[in-house]
């Protein structure tokens, strides 16, 4: 098997007829674009986590205030 450097493709030798097959992987050849897309996914995931934590904190604060008012 031959790994092509500088691209995201793999070339394999076929034992039957000696032809080379090229399999395209899911990543593009643009590392900067891939990095930005990865950063966007991380940002979105972090935002969802922070939003969930903020909502939980608000809910707890309201429950504490409600319990204090009952006493």
pTM of the entire structure?
A: 0.47
Evaluate whether 31 touches 52 at the Cβ level (below 8 Å).
Answer: no
**13 DSSP β-pair partners:** 20
Query: Residue 55 is inside which H or E element, if any?
Result: helix 31-70
pLDDT digits (tens, 9 = 90+) for 9-33: 444 444 455 554 555 445 567 888 8
Evaluate whether 9 touches 21 at the Cβ level (below 8 Å).
Answer: no
Look at residue 38 in the predicted model and tell me its pLDDT.
Answer: 93
pLDDT digits (tens, 9 = 90+) for 30-67: 888 889 999 999 999 999 999 999 999 999 999 999 88
Look at residue 68 in the predicted model and tell me its pLDDT.
Answer: 86
Closest by CA position to 9, among listed 21, 18, 17: 21
């Amino acid at each position: 098997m031959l790994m092509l450097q500088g691209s995201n493709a793999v070339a394999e030798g076929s034992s039957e007829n000696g032809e080379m097959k090229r399999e395209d992987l899911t990543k593009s050849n643009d590392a900067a674009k891939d990095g930005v897309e990865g950063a966007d996914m991380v940002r979105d995931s972090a935002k969802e986590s922070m939003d969930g934590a903020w909502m939980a904190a608000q809910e707890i604060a309201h429950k504490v205030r409600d319990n204090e008012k009952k006493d």
